[in-house]
Amino acid sequence: MAPRSRSYQISATPVTIFAHLLVIAVATLVLVWLLHNQEGFAFKSDNKLKIFNLHPFFMIIGFILIGGEAIMAYKTVPATRRAQKTFHFLLHLLALLCGILGIYAVFKFHHESGTSDMYSLHSWLGMGTICLYGLQWLLAFVSYVFPGAEMSRRASFLPWHSFFGLVIFFLAICSAETGLVQKFLILGLFRGQEALIVNFIGILLILFAISVGLGVVLPRVY
């Protein structure tokens, strides 16, 4: 009889610490890109690019980075299970609100600049991701927060909640990557400092996705 496979033999702690460092790095690069290279951002401006810039700001820093932190909350928050659950829930809510603001910003930009909506793979992936994220959050609220939910239903839903949570998170990463490529081509960023910044954002987002996924499957050593 074949021996049972052993665990990964490492703790989630170093992986989640690395993920936190990636959050800082990605957020810094996004802010440098948008404020230094892309003229900043605003909800109202004659410069329509500033309105558009709210989209990558909210979607990367708000939706993806905060959403990733929410997924890792059970491994990173040094508190009771109940407190971890509350932190996980609230961070996902904040990420969802940031995602909605990001979607609103890009539709506002398209409307005011006369650009068509939902014409690219990026837009299809992004809209599908935010809708699935909202549905996932709503189902989790009904199952785990709303009073009266049956314990058996909570237990049976948990593995699917975890699985689809990661799937939706990886879809968000794919949406961001296609968005960066689309922006890269529109701006003609084939060389120079701005091209390096955009490429590094894309690479670090992939590393962040890997770190979050690995952090979920690894045990936390107290």
Q: Give me 194's structure tokens.
A: 């701005």
- Output the CATH code of domain 12-217: 1.20.120.1770
d(CA 159, CA 164): 9
Per-domain boundaries in the chain: 12-217
Are the C-beta atoms of 113 and 48 separated by less than 8 Å?
A: yes
Q: Tokens representing 125?
A: 């992936």
pTM for this predicted structure: 0.91
**H or E element: which one contains 27?**
helix 12-32
Using one digit for the tens of pLDDT, what is the confidence trace for 78-127? 888 889 999 999 999 999 999 999 999 999 999 999 988 998 999 999 99
40, 45, 48, 49 alpha-carbon torsion, rounded to 10°:
0
